Amino acid sequence: MSKLTPKRKECRLHIHFAEDGTVIKAYTTSGNKENCEALLSAVSKTKFSKFTNPVIYHDFRRSHLSMQG
């Protein structure tokens, strides 16, 4: 990475959902501390939609996201 290129802020975010869209658990496993704290704060304030399709819920109930900014 060039000295002129800003360092990327990354965060590995894990979210466990209930079928009604409620976040059961959210945590990070690695990444930029400030970025991860901001993501956890945003997740805790967000109302996610109910999963209406059981197959989609099964696939997304435990989501693992790599966020980069």
Question: Residue 64: CA atoms inside 13 Å, Cβ hemisphere, count?
Answer: 2
Q: Does residue 35 have a pLDDT over 80?
A: yes
Q: Does residue 45 have a pLDDT over 60?
A: yes
User: What is the rounded CA–CA span in Å between residue 39 and residue 15?
Assistant: 11
Q: Which fold has domain 10-68?
A: 3.30.1150
Give me the helices (H) in 1-69, please. 33-45, 54-60
- pLDDT given at position 67: 87
Confidence of residue 34 (pLDDT cuts 50, 70, 90): very high
Closest CA to 48 of 20, 8, 29, 68: 20
Percent of the chain exceeding pLDDT 90 equals: 83
